[in-house]
Amino acid sequence: MLEWAWPFAFLALPLPWLLARWLPPAAAPATVALRLPLALRGLEAARGGTPPPSLRRLIAAAIWALVVLAAARPQWLGEPQAVSRSGRDLLLAVDASGSMSTEDMQIGGRPVSRYAAVKAIAGDFIRRRVGDRIGLIVFGSQAYLLTPLTFDRDTVLKQLEESAVGLPGRETAIGDAVGLAVKRLRERPQEQRVLILLTDGVNDAGELDPYQSIELAAAEHVKIYTIGIGAEAMRIDGFFGSRIVNPSADLDEKLLRSMAETTGGRYYRARDTAALAEIYREIDRLEPAADTTRQFRPVDELFFWPLAAALLLALGLLGARFGFRTGSAVERASPLATARFASRQSGT
């Protein structure tokens, strides 16, 4: 169906006629330096000079009408389409501190860093959350909101992919990350506020105490799902041979468990990529909040068609006005004929 976004633009249609009627006519030039005889004027017209005044006025009126038509923004509205929404507002808070570069995860049998595993598995989780608003927070020494809550999952995926370990600092500010998430979610409906926080360490930076952030989240009805990532055994080769160490010794499971239980969420432990993938699949099965189905109508802008037609007409009129005159009859006349004509006009 054809509609006009700005129909009030049609009020400008009679503007040129009103200006021509109200403004005084332009004064004619006092003298004419050169007057062509009738024969030369006929020759000029025969060789294709400018269009007659009536035709020029008609073309100018058509150009103005097309410009006004484009200004009114014609649009073609498609059929209404239903868009289902789950009603979730999900914020992902991902630890990007220095310890996330530890290569104790595997993808396809190849060792990768914890952060690379999160990118791969959390990215798949984001792709499946059709209809949710998703935002992304990365935290290290400080917490940063990379992507506000949005339906544009591609943008969230791109921001996650372009983030890097150490970008927000080398330490871990878990309390600040939760506080920032609560600040962003507090304006959303209570039953839709969800935070998924992933970390591999202990809170050792930031201004907000993590246990105070738990109280703040509970008061604002923000449900937090926490994920502790990192293997519990890792072989390290050294000068005196290899040894087995626990790369997750600093993981504060007590804090993460308390954070989840107090806010109505759940704590998960991801010791490898398979466990991490299963965790995200389980979170993906969250019951969606009740929400009405919304409809939208696709809109195709059509203003460029009348605008392009106006431009073509204007170019044609300018070409007739200036381009044809470059080869006019007087300029093609021989120098002798021009001199004779000038002599007769001067009376010599």
Contact 84, 93 (CB under 8 A): no
* Termini Cα distance of the chain: 73
- Band (289; pLDDT cuts 50, 70, 90): very low
Give pLDDT tens digits for 139-169. Answer: 999 999 999 999 899 999 999 999 999 999 9
Residue 43 pLDDT > 60: no
The domain spans of the chain are 1-20+51-79+297-322, 83-295
Contact 325, 103 (CB under 8 A): no
The span from the CA of 215 to the CA of 211, in Å, is 7
Report pLDDT for 40.
46
Report pLDDT for 328.
46
Give pLDDT tens digits for 178-211. Answer: 999 999 999 888 878 999 999 998 999 999 999 9
Residues 280-305 have a mean pLDDT of: 71
Residue 220 pLDDT > 80: yes
The pTM for the full model equals 0.59
Residue 292 pLDDT > 50: no
Give pLDDT tens digits for 308-320. Answer: 998 998 888 787 7
Report pLDDT for 210.
94
Question: In terms of pLDDT, which residue wins out, 240 or 74?
Answer: 74
Residue 290 pLDDT > 50: no
- Band (87; pLDDT cuts 50, 70, 90): low
Report pLDDT for 327.
46
Tokens encoding 156: 């969230």
Tokens encoding 124: 């798949």
3-state secondary structure of 145: strand
Report whether CATH 3.30.360.10 matches the domain 83-295. Answer: no
Cβ within 8 Å of residue 309, ≥6 positions away: 66
